[in-house]
Amino acid sequence: MAQPPYGYAAPGVAYGARPKPKLFTVKEIIGIALAVTFIAISITYSMLNVARKGIETRFDDLKVGDCFTESDSVDSNYSNEYVVDCTVAHDSEVFYTVKLPYLSYKTDDAVAPYVKDNCDPAFKDYVGIDYADSIFRIRYLHSDTTTWMQGNLTVVCYVLDTAGDRTSSVKGTAQ
């Protein structure tokens, strides 16, 4: 019988020194650390962006009491807004939504009288003062031609605080 390397071995045991457990190299450890850090920063940034900008919401899914910043609209035709908690800086707040009874497409000029006849009284009920006496402005959103023809006749009326951002609701402020 040949002598095993590194001295004697008990029967059934492999010859030689035990293999060392596989350890990560310094480069591998640095790579893993960088990957974990990148993922953590990405998640944190996303969470902060949602908290700051809000949750992207189609305009026809806005509800009374939803707050947003008009200038942060997702696109130029205001089809999506970023809804935030009303304690986060914002300049706009939904106070009235309605599905119009009209079947043919209505332009801004055609919708404006409906807004005046319906949003103005709703403004008083929500804010607590006549629109004519208020420091706020009424703005509204409605469907474009394509979504209108698909049956989305939604009009969303919202308060715009022209003084800038606020961190509270306009409901009941009588301003």
pLDDT in tens, 27-46: 877 877 787 777 767 666 55
Q: Are residues 98 and 123 in the same domain?
A: yes
Q: Are residues 36 and 11 in the same domain?
A: yes
Q: Are residues 73 and 143 in the same domain?
A: yes
Q: Are residues 42 and 60 in the same domain?
A: no
Do the domain assignments include residue 168? no
Q: For the chain, give the percent of residues with pLDDT over 90.
A: 14
The parent domain of residue 37 ranges over 1-53
Do the domain assignments include residue 171? no
Specify the number of domains making up the chain. Answer: 2
Q: Are residues 14 and 61 in the same domain?
A: no
Residue 28 C-alpha from the chain's centroid: 37
Q: What angle do CA 113, 57, 71 make, to 5 degrees?
A: 70
Q: Does the pTM exceed 0.75?
A: no
Under 8 Å between Cβ of 157 and 96: yes
